[in-house]
Homo-oligomer: A and B are copies of this chain.
Amino acid sequence: MAHTDRVRQILSWYGSDNPGTRANLARLLNHGALAGTGKLVILPVDQGFEHGPARSFQPNPAGYDPDYHVQLAVDAGCNAYAAPLGFIEAVADRYAGEIPLILKVNNSDTLSKGHAPCSAHTSTVDDALRLGCAAIGYTIYPGSSLRNPMYETLRALTHEAKQRGLAVIVWAYPRGEGLTKDGETAVDVTAYAAQIAAQLGAHVVKVKPPKNFIEQAEAKKVFDRYNIPTATLTDRIRHVVQSAFNGKRIVIFSGGEAKGTDEVLAEIREIAAGGAFGSIMGRNAFQRPRAEALKLLSDVMSVYRSAP
Protein backbone atom coordinates (compact mmCIF):
# COMPACT_ATOMS: atom_id res chain seq x y z
CA MET A 1 0.00 0.00 0.00
CA ALA A 2 1.08 3.60 -0.49
CA HIS A 3 2.63 5.04 2.64
CA THR A 4 0.46 7.47 4.57
CA ASP A 5 1.97 10.77 5.60
CA ARG A 6 2.35 9.48 9.13
CA VAL A 7 4.21 6.38 8.01
CA ARG A 8 6.46 8.53 5.85
CA GLN A 9 7.16 10.74 8.81
CA ILE A 10 8.05 7.79 11.00
CA LEU A 11 10.29 6.27 8.31
CA SER A 12 12.08 9.61 7.94
CA TRP A 13 13.51 9.12 11.44
CA TYR A 14 15.34 6.02 10.22
CA GLY A 15 17.17 7.67 7.33
CA SER A 16 20.52 6.09 8.23
CA ASP A 17 19.08 2.65 7.63
CA ASN A 18 19.12 0.95 4.31
CA PRO A 19 15.95 0.57 2.23
CA GLY A 20 15.62 -3.06 3.24
CA THR A 21 15.36 -2.25 6.91
CA ARG A 22 13.08 0.67 6.22
CA ALA A 23 10.87 -1.57 4.06
CA ASN A 24 10.53 -4.01 6.93
CA LEU A 25 9.65 -1.21 9.32
CA ALA A 26 7.06 -0.14 6.77
CA ARG A 27 5.73 -3.69 6.65
CA LEU A 28 5.15 -3.61 10.39
CA LEU A 29 3.43 -0.25 10.09
CA ASN A 30 1.35 -1.13 7.05
CA HIS A 31 -0.16 -4.45 8.07
CA GLY A 32 -3.42 -5.23 9.79
CA ALA A 33 -6.21 -3.14 11.17
CA LEU A 34 -3.92 -0.26 12.15
CA ALA A 35 -2.10 -0.18 8.82
CA GLY A 36 -0.98 3.31 7.94
CA THR A 37 -1.92 4.89 11.27
CA GLY A 38 1.58 4.78 12.68
CA LYS A 39 0.27 2.64 15.54
CA LEU A 40 1.04 -1.01 16.22
CA VAL A 41 -0.52 -3.85 18.14
CA ILE A 42 1.74 -6.87 18.17
CA LEU A 43 0.98 -10.34 19.47
CA PRO A 44 4.02 -11.86 21.21
CA VAL A 45 4.06 -15.42 22.46
CA ASP A 46 7.28 -16.21 24.25
CA GLN A 47 5.70 -17.11 27.59
CA GLY A 48 6.00 -20.82 26.86
CA PHE A 49 9.75 -20.40 27.07
CA GLU A 50 9.76 -17.73 29.75
CA HIS A 51 7.15 -19.13 32.18
CA GLY A 52 6.55 -22.72 31.09
CA PRO A 53 3.66 -24.21 29.11
CA ALA A 54 1.00 -24.83 31.74
CA ARG A 55 1.28 -21.35 33.25
CA SER A 56 1.11 -19.91 29.78
CA PHE A 57 -1.37 -22.03 27.89
CA GLN A 58 -3.64 -23.94 30.24
CA PRO A 59 -5.95 -20.92 30.78
CA ASN A 60 -6.84 -21.29 27.08
CA PRO A 61 -5.55 -24.69 25.97
CA ALA A 62 -5.84 -23.85 22.29
CA GLY A 63 -2.66 -21.92 22.93
CA TYR A 64 -0.58 -25.05 23.27
CA ASP A 65 -0.82 -25.13 19.47
CA PRO A 66 1.52 -22.75 17.63
CA ASP A 67 -0.99 -22.36 14.79
CA TYR A 68 -3.45 -20.87 17.21
CA HIS A 69 -1.44 -17.75 17.95
CA VAL A 70 -0.42 -16.71 14.48
CA GLN A 71 -3.96 -17.26 13.24
CA LEU A 72 -5.21 -15.16 16.13
CA ALA A 73 -2.78 -12.40 15.15
CA VAL A 74 -3.93 -12.58 11.54
CA ASP A 75 -7.61 -12.66 12.39
CA ALA A 76 -7.30 -9.86 14.93
CA GLY A 77 -5.52 -7.66 12.44
CA CYS A 78 -2.34 -7.36 14.50
CA ASN A 79 0.61 -5.66 12.85
CA ALA A 80 2.89 -8.57 13.61
CA TYR A 81 3.44 -11.79 15.47
CA ALA A 82 6.52 -12.35 17.62
CA ALA A 83 7.83 -15.64 19.03
CA PRO A 84 10.95 -17.75 19.68
CA LEU A 85 12.49 -19.94 17.01
CA GLY A 86 10.33 -23.02 17.55
CA PHE A 87 6.98 -21.26 17.39
CA ILE A 88 8.07 -19.32 14.31
CA GLU A 89 9.37 -22.42 12.54
CA ALA A 90 6.11 -24.17 13.31
CA VAL A 91 4.14 -21.65 11.26
CA ALA A 92 6.42 -19.69 8.99
CA ASP A 93 5.96 -21.99 6.01
CA ARG A 94 2.31 -21.00 5.83
CA TYR A 95 2.21 -17.56 7.43
CA ALA A 96 5.37 -15.75 6.29
CA GLY A 97 3.94 -13.37 3.72
CA GLU A 98 0.56 -13.24 5.43
CA ILE A 99 1.62 -11.35 8.50
CA PRO A 100 4.96 -9.81 9.51
CA LEU A 101 6.89 -12.21 11.74
CA ILE A 102 9.32 -11.18 14.45
CA LEU A 103 11.89 -13.73 15.54
CA LYS A 104 12.66 -13.38 19.23
CA VAL A 105 16.37 -14.27 19.13
CA ASN A 106 17.04 -14.50 22.83
CA ASN A 107 15.00 -16.12 25.56
CA SER A 108 15.18 -16.85 29.25
CA ASP A 109 13.58 -19.72 31.11
CA THR A 110 12.69 -19.74 34.82
CA LEU A 111 13.95 -23.17 35.77
CA SER A 112 17.33 -21.89 36.85
CA LYS A 113 17.52 -19.33 39.62
CA GLY A 114 19.96 -17.27 41.61
CA HIS A 115 21.88 -15.85 38.67
CA ALA A 116 22.19 -12.36 37.38
CA PRO A 117 19.37 -12.14 34.86
CA CYS A 118 20.52 -12.85 31.31
CA SER A 119 18.71 -14.42 28.39
CA ALA A 120 20.23 -17.05 26.13
CA HIS A 121 20.95 -16.08 22.53
CA THR A 122 18.88 -18.77 20.82
CA SER A 123 18.46 -17.90 17.15
CA THR A 124 20.07 -15.76 14.49
CA VAL A 125 19.64 -13.18 11.80
CA ASP A 126 20.08 -16.01 9.30
CA ASP A 127 17.15 -17.78 10.90
CA ALA A 128 15.08 -14.64 10.60
CA LEU A 129 15.88 -14.38 6.90
CA ARG A 130 15.20 -18.02 6.08
CA LEU A 131 11.91 -17.83 7.99
CA GLY A 132 10.77 -14.67 6.22
CA CYS A 133 10.72 -12.48 9.30
CA ALA A 134 10.53 -8.70 9.15
CA ALA A 135 12.45 -8.15 12.35
CA ILE A 136 14.40 -9.69 15.16
CA GLY A 137 13.50 -9.16 18.78
CA TYR A 138 16.04 -9.06 21.62
CA THR A 139 15.64 -8.58 25.36
CA ILE A 140 18.07 -6.58 27.48
CA TYR A 141 18.05 -6.38 31.26
CA PRO A 142 19.50 -2.99 32.26
CA GLY A 143 20.42 -3.23 35.92
CA SER A 144 21.81 -6.72 35.63
CA SER A 145 25.48 -7.28 36.29
CA LEU A 146 25.45 -9.08 32.94
CA ARG A 147 24.06 -6.09 31.04
CA ASN A 148 27.34 -5.45 29.19
CA PRO A 149 27.58 -8.89 27.56
CA MET A 150 23.90 -8.50 26.60
CA TYR A 151 24.52 -5.12 24.99
CA GLU A 152 27.52 -6.56 23.18
CA THR A 153 25.59 -9.50 21.76
CA LEU A 154 22.91 -7.06 20.67
CA ARG A 155 25.61 -4.96 18.96
CA ALA A 156 26.59 -7.88 16.77
CA LEU A 157 23.00 -8.86 16.01
CA THR A 158 21.95 -5.31 15.24
CA HIS A 159 24.89 -4.80 12.93
CA GLU A 160 24.04 -7.93 11.01
CA ALA A 161 20.30 -7.28 10.94
CA LYS A 162 20.79 -3.76 9.61
CA GLN A 163 23.18 -4.98 6.96
CA ARG A 164 20.69 -7.64 5.85
CA GLY A 165 17.69 -5.32 5.80
CA LEU A 166 15.85 -6.41 8.96
CA ALA A 167 14.38 -4.25 11.68
CA VAL A 168 15.42 -4.60 15.32
CA ILE A 169 13.00 -4.56 18.25
CA VAL A 170 14.44 -4.38 21.74
CA TRP A 171 12.53 -5.51 24.80
CA ALA A 172 14.06 -3.30 27.54
CA TYR A 173 13.30 -4.83 30.92
CA PRO A 174 15.21 -3.28 33.83
CA ARG A 175 16.09 -6.03 36.28
CA GLY A 176 18.95 -7.24 38.43
CA GLU A 177 21.29 -6.39 41.27
CA GLY A 178 21.30 -2.69 40.56
CA LEU A 179 17.57 -2.25 41.13
CA THR A 180 14.91 -2.77 43.77
CA LYS A 181 11.85 -4.77 42.77
CA ASP A 182 9.80 -1.55 42.52
CA GLY A 183 12.61 0.05 40.62
CA GLU A 184 12.11 -2.36 37.73
CA THR A 185 9.04 -0.40 36.65
CA ALA A 186 9.95 2.97 38.11
CA VAL A 187 9.26 5.79 35.71
CA ASP A 188 12.87 7.04 35.73
CA VAL A 189 14.19 3.53 35.16
CA THR A 190 11.72 2.74 32.39
CA ALA A 191 12.61 5.98 30.61
CA TYR A 192 16.30 5.22 31.07
CA ALA A 193 15.84 1.73 29.66
CA ALA A 194 14.06 3.15 26.62
CA GLN A 195 16.93 5.58 26.11
CA ILE A 196 19.50 2.78 26.38
CA ALA A 197 17.66 0.62 23.86
CA ALA A 198 17.39 3.52 21.43
CA GLN A 199 21.08 4.42 21.85
CA LEU A 200 21.99 0.80 21.17
CA GLY A 201 20.36 1.20 17.76
CA ALA A 202 16.90 -0.31 18.27
CA HIS A 203 14.28 0.66 15.69
CA VAL A 204 11.44 -0.24 18.03
CA VAL A 205 11.63 -0.20 21.81
CA LYS A 206 9.32 -2.19 24.03
CA VAL A 207 9.00 -1.36 27.69
CA LYS A 208 6.51 -1.95 30.49
CA PRO A 209 4.05 0.76 31.53
CA PRO A 210 5.92 2.66 34.25
CA LYS A 211 4.71 3.05 37.82
CA ASN A 212 4.58 6.33 39.74
CA PHE A 213 7.85 5.67 41.53
CA ILE A 214 11.34 7.04 41.12
CA GLU A 215 14.20 4.68 41.85
CA GLN A 216 17.38 6.69 41.46
CA ALA A 217 18.20 9.42 43.97
CA GLU A 218 19.93 11.54 41.33
CA ALA A 219 16.94 11.24 39.02
CA LYS A 220 14.54 12.08 41.84
CA LYS A 221 16.23 15.45 42.28
CA VAL A 222 15.66 16.25 38.63
CA PHE A 223 12.05 15.09 38.57
CA ASP A 224 11.43 17.28 41.60
CA ARG A 225 13.34 20.32 40.44
CA TYR A 226 11.67 20.39 37.04
CA ASN A 227 8.28 19.14 38.19
CA ILE A 228 8.19 16.37 35.63
CA PRO A 229 4.62 15.11 35.95
CA THR A 230 4.32 11.44 36.88
CA ALA A 231 0.99 11.26 38.63
CA THR A 232 -0.94 9.60 35.84
CA LEU A 233 0.08 6.75 33.59
CA THR A 234 -0.42 9.11 30.68
CA ASP A 235 2.12 11.50 32.21
CA ARG A 236 4.60 8.71 32.63
CA ILE A 237 4.11 7.31 29.14
CA ARG A 238 4.72 10.78 27.77
CA HIS A 239 8.04 10.96 29.63
CA VAL A 240 9.11 7.56 28.35
CA VAL A 241 8.23 8.39 24.74
CA GLN A 242 10.08 11.66 25.06
CA SER A 243 13.04 9.74 26.46
CA ALA A 244 13.18 7.67 23.29
CA PHE A 245 14.68 10.41 21.15
CA ASN A 246 11.82 12.85 21.68
CA GLY A 247 9.38 10.38 20.15
CA LYS A 248 11.57 9.71 17.12
CA ARG A 249 11.92 6.04 17.97
CA ILE A 250 8.85 3.79 18.00
CA VAL A 251 8.05 2.88 21.62
CA ILE A 252 5.44 0.28 22.42
CA PHE A 253 4.21 -0.96 25.77
CA SER A 254 3.42 -4.36 27.14
CA GLY A 255 0.17 -5.08 28.88
CA GLY A 256 1.84 -6.59 31.85
CA GLU A 257 0.16 -9.30 33.85
CA ALA A 258 -3.17 -10.76 32.81
CA LYS A 259 -6.16 -8.89 34.19
CA GLY A 260 -9.78 -7.98 33.49
CA THR A 261 -10.87 -6.58 30.17
CA ASP A 262 -12.00 -3.25 31.52
CA GLU A 263 -8.78 -2.80 33.38
CA VAL A 264 -6.81 -3.58 30.26
CA LEU A 265 -8.71 -1.14 28.13
CA ALA A 266 -8.54 1.59 30.73
CA GLU A 267 -4.79 1.17 30.88
CA ILE A 268 -4.47 1.18 27.09
CA ARG A 269 -6.45 4.43 26.93
CA GLU A 270 -3.98 6.05 29.28
CA ILE A 271 -1.04 4.63 27.39
CA ALA A 272 -2.39 5.82 24.07
CA ALA A 273 -3.11 9.26 25.44
CA GLY A 274 0.54 9.55 26.43
CA GLY A 275 1.71 9.19 22.85
CA ALA A 276 2.57 5.50 22.79
CA PHE A 277 3.03 3.98 19.35
CA GLY A 278 1.11 0.91 20.41
CA SER A 279 0.97 -2.17 22.53
CA ILE A 280 2.44 -5.58 22.56
CA MET A 281 -0.17 -7.79 24.12
CA GLY A 282 0.47 -11.44 24.85
CA ARG A 283 -1.14 -13.10 27.85
CA ASN A 284 -4.04 -10.70 27.92
CA ALA A 285 -4.84 -11.87 24.41
CA PHE A 286 -3.99 -15.55 24.06
CA GLN A 287 -5.05 -16.63 27.54
CA ARG A 288 -8.61 -15.49 26.83
CA PRO A 289 -11.02 -17.57 24.76
CA ARG A 290 -10.55 -16.72 21.11
CA ALA A 291 -13.69 -14.70 20.68
CA GLU A 292 -12.91 -12.62 23.73
CA ALA A 293 -9.36 -12.15 22.59
CA LEU A 294 -10.46 -10.96 19.17
CA LYS A 295 -12.89 -8.55 20.79
CA LEU A 296 -10.27 -7.22 23.17
CA LEU A 297 -7.66 -6.75 20.48
CA SER A 298 -10.24 -5.02 18.30
CA ASP A 299 -11.11 -2.69 21.16
CA VAL A 300 -7.45 -1.97 21.81
CA MET A 301 -6.93 -1.13 18.17
CA SER A 302 -9.92 1.19 18.28
CA VAL A 303 -8.35 3.04 21.15
CA TYR A 304 -5.12 3.54 19.19
CA ARG A 305 -6.96 4.45 16.02
CA SER A 306 -8.65 7.34 17.76
CA ALA A 307 -5.55 8.40 19.71
CA PRO A 308 -3.85 11.67 18.77
Contact = CB atoms under 8 A, between A and B. Distances in A.
Contact of A97 (B3, B68, B74, B88): B3
Interface residues of A, number: 120
A199 B96 contact: no
Interface in A195-245: 195-196, 198-202, 216, 218-219, 222-223, 226, 228, 239, 242-243, 245
Residue among A23, A111, A155 having the largest count of chain B Cβ atoms under 10 Å: A111
B123 A90 contact: no
Interface in A36-68: 48-49, 51-55, 57-59, 61, 64-68
Given A112-B178, A122-B151, A151-B122, A27 B192 contact: no
A259 interface: no
A169 interface: no
Given A17-B89, A152-B120, A199-B86, A178 B113 contact: yes
A34 interface: no
Given A85-B201, A120-B148, A199-B48, A64 B245 contact: yes
Interface stretch (A158-166, A264-272, A276-284, A296-304): A158-166
A22 B59 contact: no
Given A120-B151, A245-B65, A179 B111 contact: yes
Nearest to A14: B89
A92 interface: yes
A145 interface: yes
A96 B19 contact: yes
Given A2-B98, A111-B192, A198-B86, A159 B124 contact: yes
A25 interface: yes
A98 to B, nearest CB: 6
Nearest to A114: B177
A261 interface: no
Given A122-B152, A245-B64, A246-B65, A144 B112 contact: yes
A65 B55 CA distance: 41
26 contacts: A11-B97, A14-B89, A16-B88, A16-B93, A49-B196, A52-B191, A53-B191, A53-B192, A53-B243, A54-B228, A58-B228, A64-B243, A84-B200, A85-B201, A86-B199, A87-B245, A89-B201, A107-B199, A111-B178, A111-B193, A111-B216, A113-B177, A121-B151, A124-B159, A130-B165, A163-B163
Given A2-B98, A23-B132, 17 more contacts: A11-B97, A15-B19, A15-B93, A16-B91, A16-B93, A19-B97, A26-B98, A53-B243, A65-B245, A67-B248, A111-B174, A114-B145, A115-B145, A120-B148, A121-B155, A129-B164, A130-B165
Closest 7 CB pairs of A and B: A26-B97, A23-B132, A15-B93, A19-B92, A23-B97, A23-B96, A65-B246
